């Protein structure tokens, strides 16, 4: 259990992936052998994360434009842009983590 | 989802907002410190005062701050003898605003300090969030 990619634990129970992607945990229960479903889930997780981040970024952009027009205060603009920055950083960190775990899996000797 | 750090950011933002409104009131008072009436015996500009109150956010339960009210200072006007002034009454006295520049400057400084304090809270909270996110990054 300590080594996430130890051959005895197998793909599905890799702890490197599970805590970050609950949907992968569901797949673990079903334990389907198809690699395609793994990539679909993986993509879905990433996609959802990126959609959320894009929403925050869009809000920040809209607020910035309103700020330029003089309809939003400087505080509101700064607040939303900083929130977007932080969300983006978190998303990138999580993505890096998930991609690293995925690469680890793909490097596993068969 | 109630992240205390995010809530502190919001609370500090409400603090920033009320302090900037306070500065607006101060600037109005300062700018109008010499504004008199137009007609003989008319009242001049009246100093504005601002007060704050606590606002409980229903979702987070946090205590935000908001403007309670902006009211007029009921202190008496200053009176000056200036018979040539358009607002002078029959005895030649002109009513000047009840604005004390020193008080306004002190108020402005206080607004500035409070604003800084709230900014510091935002900085700190952001730093804590960033440090936590960095945990994800450095361990890989």
Tens-digit pLDDT profile for residues B10-19: 999 999 999 9
Higher pLDDT, A29 or A109: A109
Residue A33's pLDDT is what? 44
The pLDDT value recorded for residue A97 is 87
Q: What is this model's ipTM?
A: 0.71
Q: Within a 13 Å sphere around the CA of B80, how many CA atoms are in the beta-carbon half?
A: 14
Residue A36 pLDDT exceeds 60:
no
Tell me which of A17, A63, A86 to substitute to probe the interface with B (most B C-beta atoms closer than 10 Å): A86
pLDDT confidence band for A40 (50 / 70 / 90)? low
Dmax over Cα atoms in chain A, in whole Å? 62
Every domain of chain A and the residues it spans: 1-32, 40-107
pLDDT in tens, A61-100: 999 999 999 888 888 899 899 989 999 998 888 888 888 8
Q: Mean pLDDT over all residues of chain A?
A: 71
> Which chain B residues are within 8 Å of A73, Cβ to Cβ?
17, 20
Query: Encoding tokens for residue B43?
Result: 């009242």
Residue of chain A with shortest Cα separation from B11 = A79
User: Between the CA of residue A75 and those of A61, B41, B102, what are the distances in Å?
Assistant: 14, 43, 28
Q: Which of B9, B13, B133 sits opposite A90 (nearest CB)?
A: B133
Q: Is the pLDDT of residue B123 over 70?
A: yes
Can you read off the two tokens belonging to residue B107? 């108020």
| Between B125 and A25, residue with greater pLDDT | B125
Q: Pick B60 or A2 by higher pLDDT.
A: B60
Q: Which two tokens stand for residue A102?
A: 């995925």
pLDDT at B25: 95
Residue A1 predicted with pLDDT over 90:
no
Q: Round to whole Å and give the CA distance between B99 and B39.
A: 20
Residues B44, B35 contacting (CB under 8 angstroms): yes
Give this prediction's pTM: 0.72
Q: List, in sequence order, every beta strand (DSSP E) within B1-140.
A: 48-56, 63-72, 78-81, 93-96
Residue with tokens 């700020």: A67
Across the range B42-65, mean pLDDT stands at 92
Location of structure tokens 């005062």: B49
DSSP helix/strand/coil, A109: coil
Using 50, 70 and 90 to split pLDDT, how confident is the model at B138? low
> Would you state the pLDDT for residue A39?
52
Q: Nearest chain B Cα to A76, which residue?
A: B13
Q: Output the CA–CA distances (angstroms, integers) from residue B25 to A99, B29, B108, B112, in the order listed.
A: 53, 6, 9, 13
Which of B137, B138, B139 is the best residue to mutate to test the A interface, defined by the most A CB atoms within 10 Å of its own CB? B137
Partner-chain contact A79 B13, CB within 8 Å: yes
The structure tokens listed for B34 are 């010499």
Cα angle, residue B1 at apex, residues B116 and A43 outer, rounded to 5°: 110
CB contact (8 A) between residue B140 and residue A89: no
């Amino acid at each position: 259990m300590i080594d996430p990619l130890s051959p005895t634990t197998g793909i599905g129970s890799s702890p490197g992936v599970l805590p970050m992607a609950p949907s992968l945990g569901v797949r673990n229960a079903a334990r389907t052998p198809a690699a395609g479903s793994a990539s679909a889930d993986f993509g879905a997780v990433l996609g959802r994360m990126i959609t959320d981040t894009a929403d925050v970024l869009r809000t920040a952009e809209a607020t910035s434009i309103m700020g330029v027009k003089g309809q939003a205060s400087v505080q509101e603009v700064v607040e939303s842009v900083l929130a977007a920055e932080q969300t983006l950083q978190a998303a990138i960190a999580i993505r890096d983590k998930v991609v690293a775990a995925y690469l680890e899996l793909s490097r596993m000797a068969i | 989802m109630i992240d205390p750090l995010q809530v502190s950011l919001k609370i500090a933002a409400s603090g920033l907002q009320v302090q900037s409104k306070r500065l607006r009131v101060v600037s109005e008072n300062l700018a109008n410190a010499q504004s008199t009436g137009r007609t003989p015996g008319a009242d001049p500009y009246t100093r504005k005062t601002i007060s704050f109150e606590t606002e409980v956010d229903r979702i987070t339960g946090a205590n935000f701050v908001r403007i309670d009210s902006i009211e007029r200072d009921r202190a008496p006007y200053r009176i000056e003898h200036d018979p040539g002034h358009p607002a002078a009454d029959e005895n030649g006295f002109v009513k000047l605003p009840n604005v004390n520049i020193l008080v306004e400057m002190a108020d402005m400084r206080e607004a500035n300090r409070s604003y800084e304090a709230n900014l510091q809270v935002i900085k700190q909270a952001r730093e804590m969030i960033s440090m936590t996110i960095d945990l994800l990054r450095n361990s890989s």
